[in-house]
Amino acid sequence: MKNLNPKKIPISLYIHLPWCEKKCPYCDFNVDVDKQNGDEENLLKAILEDLEKSEKYISNRKFSSVYFGGGTPSLISSKIIEQITKALSNKKLLNSNCEISFELNPKEVMNDYLNELMNAGINRISIGIQSFDQKVLSSLERNHSSMDALKAVEIISSLNSINTTIDLIYGVMDQTLESVIKDINTFCSFDLEHLSMYQLTIEPNTIFYKRNLITPPDNSIELMEIEAKKILKSNKYYQYEVSSWTKNGKESKHNMNYWGYGDYLGLGPGAHSKITTNESITRMIKLKKVKSYIDNPCKTTNTEITTKNYDLDLAMNLLRIKEGLTFDEINKRNIYLSKTFLSKLEKGVEENLLERGGIKASDMGYKFLNDTVNIFS
């Protein structure tokens, strides 16, 4: 690949804070459950050193968004977060309207902590509610109760000034349609800006995978999705991505940059980056173990995106955006379209899976998104 011009490609920053109280049996993220006194200061040092040495990847750009994800970032003291955001603003790395998101588990949603986070520059909060139904939370073996979940959204919705999203999971063992409907209605009653709604995936390498679990059949899952969509629509929430719903234009800038094929720099154990240079696009992963990362924060495993897999990589991201991107938007984001990509696009249009005028799945194409994406393989 050539003439890619990284300076014109938007970039965001992801910071992975890996600690959790316990590992949830369905979780496949890079998590560590052994946080000791002093560990967070050591991780802070490593993250700041990593940032310092990442200039070559940033190429004089400013971050359009920053995302503190985990793990459970809310197990970290707000002082550490403030030192990271201070370093970013001292280095003039933040866009003036930068979205700075932070993930919290419900038990840590407390007024004092939230105020400290806001003082540190956090302007968007993501709470891992999963469900308001105690039975579902118990099936997921979560370490918070339905009371904790309700209390968390009550506290956050009393703070008018902060943009909020919550995560809900559906398709859990023994979860009923009524329980999903109740969860969505509860979410809507708080009038929050955003919802991420994930179907439970039983990932290999998780405890759930080793058990003989029975999740609801496909037709029940489809019904859950249909009913959830109806309620969300009647409450003026619209879907803008496979798992994401919002109202009043509060799409996640950070996630839209991933799906819009922007660059991102990942700091912290196991964090992923996608970085464009003049002639290549490379995906990089940091060392996964906390101690290894602290000892060697700049070491990465790199995979270059080749002309062979570029089309699929691009389609997998862009086609998640429900409204797609017009050719004008693609030009603005400086996304390179190969000849092969354009001919596959034409094929998708002929098969009624894609629409003309940009890169957008048709209604049918969005319903069968895997098939649509596979046109680009």
Ligand X SMILES: C[S@@+](CC[C@H](N)C(=O)[O-])C[C@H]1O[C@@H](n2cnc3c(N)ncnc32)[C@H](O)[C@@H]1O
Q: Indicate whether 261 belongs to the interface with ligand X (CB under 6 A).
A: no
Taking the complex as a whole, the smallest distance from the CB of residue 54 to ligand SF4 amounts, in Å, to 24
Number of CB atoms found within 10 A of residue 31's CB: 19
Q: 23 is in the binding site of which of ligand X, ligand SF4, none (Cβ under 5 to 8 A by kind)?
A: ligand SF4
Q: With contacts defined by CB under 6 A, name the span among 19-27, 258-266, 287-295, 362-370 that binds ligand SF4.
A: 19-27
Specify which residues 301 forms β-bridges with. 285
Q: How many residues bind ligand SF4 (CB under 6 A)?
A: 11
- What DSSP string describes 123-189? -EEEEEEE-S-HHHHHHTT-SS-HHHHHHHHHHHHH-TTSEEEEEEEES-TT--HHHHHHHHHHHHH
24 belongs to the binding site for ligand SF4 (CB under 6 A): yes
| Closer Cβ to ligand X, 23 or 182, answer by number | 23
Cα separation, 311 vs 287, whole angstroms: 28
Q: Per-residue contact track with ligand SF4, 38 to 77, x per CB under 6 A?
A: --------------------------------xxx-----
- H helices present in the chain, as ranges: 39-52, 55-58, 78-90, 111-119, 134-139, 146-158, 177-189, 207-210, 218-234, 253-259, 290-295, 307-318, 327-332, 339-350, 363-367, 369-374
Locus of tokens 């970032």: 73
Q: Which of residues 248-287 bind ligand SF4 (CB under 6 A)?
A: none
Integer angstrom CA distances of residue 95 from 12, 63, 88, 264, 297? 10, 6, 10, 14, 25
Choose from ligand SF4, ligand X, none: what does 273 bind? Cβ within 5-8 Å by kind: none
26 binds ligand X (CB under 6 A): yes
- Of 90 and 205, nearer to ligand SF4 (C-beta) is 205
209 part of the interface to ligand X, by CB under 6 A: no
Residues numbered 115 to 154 that lie near ligand SF4 (CB under 6 A) are 128
The DSSP bridge partners found for residue 217 are: none
Instruction: Tell which one of 113, 190, 198, 336 touches ligand X (CB under 6 A).
Output: 198
Residue 102 token pair: 């932070």
Task: Give yes or no for a contact between 87 and 48, defined as CB atoms under 8 angstroms apart.
Answer: yes
x/- binding map, residues 151-190, to ligand X, per CB under 6 A?
----------------x-x---------------------
Q: Do 152 and 129 form a contact (C-beta atoms < 8 A)?
A: yes
- Give the integer Cα–Cα distance in Å for 377 and 372: 10
Of the candidates 30, 54, 101, 105, which one interacts with ligand X according to CB under 6 A? 105
List interacting residues with ligand SF4 (CB under 6 A).
20, 23-24, 27, 29, 31, 70-72, 105, 128
- Residues contributing to the site for ligand X (CB under 6 A): 26-27, 29, 70, 72, 103, 105, 128, 130, 167, 169, 198, 200-201, 203
